[in-house]
Amino acid sequence: MTAPDAPTGRTAFVLGGGGVLGAVEVGMLQALFEHGIHPDLIVGSSVGAINGALVAADPGPGAVDRLRAVWEQLASQQIFAGSVLGRMSTLARTRTHVHPPEPLRNLLETHLPVRTFAELRVPFQCVAASIERAAEHWFSEGPLVDAVLASSAVPGLLPPVELDGEHYLDGGLVHSIPVGRAVALGADTVYVLHVGRIDRPLQPPTRPWEVATVAFEIARRHRYAADLAALPPGVTVHVLPSGDADPPGTANLRYRNFSGVAGRIDRAHAAADGYLARAATRADGEG
């Protein structure tokens, strides 16, 4: 889908993917709002689509409270719960995934105060990967929950989402941190909310389970790096720190472990708050 024409001079929040590590985006959002920074546009991918849709519906401190409630529910009710036998039973029945989509759908329908993109208070787009076209697809209109589910349909964990005869998987497959999309939509100030792995150098895999993780990290990072390298003049990008000195590189293998959610939110809040305070000081000095 071609980016529509949009006015320049806009502030965008770009929320990347990263599974359970996406809790850090809640802390970053809290810091942004506390510093009086509000979005004119929100772009999200995968778990960033979940966080982003909730913020677009209520772009203020109330969104942070709602997001904290969502992540607490993810931790307490274990949306990806189930015994090994139950997950294997689902896989045997479906042959494609180990979790049903209904718990995540119910969570979104409970916490999202609107049902369509048109009802959002801030323009919002999320990306998913089209299976049939092997291409990215951007959702910007129509039913909101369906689009967010498509963007967060992790292969093997959740089923593809069928919309209008086309099947979609997780947006992280094609655009994990979509800075370029925000710029194409007219943003000239971009705040990047990411889960913390992009600033850690990759190493060759040494264990069988690391092979897929390293391969996916290459795929997700090269598009992001290309977007940053191609920024046009006049665009400022702020990459907010996650607060994790050593974020787990095999998070996808521990996608059901929500035990560290509260700590991740608090560390990201503190780190982002410090970054924004320093950025404001520099801006005052230059002014």
Between strands 41-45 and 124-130, the pairing is parallel
Instruction: Report residue 90's pLDDT band, with 50, 70 and 90 as the boundaries.
Output: low
The reported pLDDT for the residue numbered 281 is: 86
Summary mean pLDDT of the chain: 85
Residue 95 pLDDT level (bands cut at 50, 70, 90): low
**Token duo for residue 120:** 């959002």
Options 3.40.50.720, 2.70.98.40, 3.40.1090.10, 3.30.1360.70; CATH of 11-246+256-282 = 3.40.1090.10
The predicted pLDDT at position 252 comes to: 43
Q: What is the DSSP letter of 131?
A: T
Higher pLDDT, 215 or 274: 274
Choice among 39-43, 180-184, 202-206, 265-269 with the minimum mean pLDDT: 202-206
Q: Helix crossing, 261-286 with 61-77: angle to 10°?
A: 160
- Residues labelled as active-site residues: 46, 170
Q: Which tokens in the block code for residue 225? A: 């790096």
3-class DSSP state for residue 151? helix
pTM, rounded to two decimals = 0.88
Tell me the three-class secondary structure of 200-218, residue by residue.
CCCCCCCCHHHHHHHHHHH
Look at the block and give the residue holding tokens 């129509």: 142
> Which residues are CB-contacts of 40 (< 8 A; sequence separation ≥ 6)?
10, 11, 12, 122, 123, 187
d(CA 235, CA 216): 28
| Residue 52 tokens, joined | 């982003």
The tokens for 184 are 């194409």
Burial class (CB in 10 A: 0-12, 13-18, 19+), 102: exposed
Q: How far is CA 232 from the centre of its chain?
A: 24
pLDDT reported for residue 220: 77
Q: Quickly count: other Cβ atoms within 10 Å of residue 62's Cβ.
A: 14
Q: What Rg, from alpha-carbon coordinates, does the chain have?
A: 18
3-state class (DSSP) for residue 50: helix
pLDDT, tens digit, 9 for 90 and up, residues 114-158: 999 999 999 999 999 999 999 999 999 999 999 999 999 988 788
Q: Residue 73's pLDDT is what?
A: 77
Residue 62 confidence (pLDDT) above 90 = no
CB contact burial 250-270 (16+ within 10 A = b; e otherwise): ebbeeebebebbbebbbbbbe
| Better-predicted residue by pLDDT, 203 or 5 | 203
Q: Across residues 180-201, what is the average pLDDT?
A: 90
Interval 206-224 mean pLDDT: 84
Q: Can you tell me the distance from the alpha carbon of 169 to that of 153, in angstroms, rounded to the nearest whole number?
A: 5
pLDDT at 250 over 60: no
Mean pLDDT value across residues 223-240: 95
In angstroms, the CA 158 to CA 99 distance is: 5
